[in-house]
A and B are shown apart, each in its own frame.
Chain A
Amino acid sequence: MEQNRNCNRSSQNRCFYNQGNSVKYTTQPRNSKPAGNDSCPHPTQVPGRPVGMTYIPEQAFENIYDAKCGLMEGTMFKDLNLIFCGIRGKQI
């Protein structure tokens, strides 16, 4: 279970600080239908941010791993330690 959740990464010597908080990021299956009855987007207008542009939420200096765990996880930032699964639109 754990091994599958972490894309077959070795479970040895890992910290699992993100256990329970991680999100499985996959691309949407190609034959899936959009939620709702129509496929038209319903953008949320944010003042000062025009549509058609992409925005990246600014990262705060918080939820920092200790050095030992950071090296094992490949990042010092828990918020960036996301589990990316799936190959070419297929879930594993």
Chain B
Amino acid sequence: MNKMNKKQLMRFITEVSFAMDDIALYLDLHPSCQKALASYDNYKNMRNQAVKDYISIYGPINKYQVNDTNYFSWINDPWPWEREGNC
């Protein structure tokens, strides 16, 4: 995970986020499917770790993750509408 650069790590977060979203749609219809639940949980763990790594290295992805009490680091580039901010 920590071998990825900033762009690669954001891309990875986007990928596992999409995986979670799409599997969640399946789980909406099959809420007790153990295989789907296991896969969802797996991607959830991967995403949590990746987001944690990203925030600790590159700063917050959204404004709820700002921990810096001296500076509102959320305003650092890239902005959400910039290409770099969207994989």
A residues bordering B, Cβ < 8 Å?
A: 59, 61-62, 64, 67-68, 70-71, 75-77
| Residues of the B chain whose Cβ atoms lie less than 8 Å from the Cβ of A68 | 15
Alpha-carbon distance A70/B36, docked complex (angstroms): 15
Cβ B22 vs Cβ A61 within 8 A: no
Cβ B39 vs Cβ A75 within 8 A: no
Alpha-carbon distance A86/B57, docked complex (angstroms): 47
Looking at chain A's contact residues, the main secondary structure is: mixed
Q: Please report the total number of B residues contacting A with Cβ < 8 Å.
A: 17
| Residues of the A chain whose Cβ atoms lie less than 8 Å from the Cβ of B23 | 76
Contact partner, A61, options B12, B19, B36, B43, Cβ 8 Å: B36
| Residues of the A chain whose Cβ atoms lie less than 8 Å from the Cβ of B19 | 67, 70-71, 76
Cβ A61 vs Cβ B26 within 8 A: yes
Is B65 located at the chain interface by the 8 A CB criterion? no
Cβ B30 vs Cβ A67 within 8 A: no
- Supposing A61-B39, A64-B39 touch, asked if A71 and B14 sit within 8 A by C-beta, the answer is yes
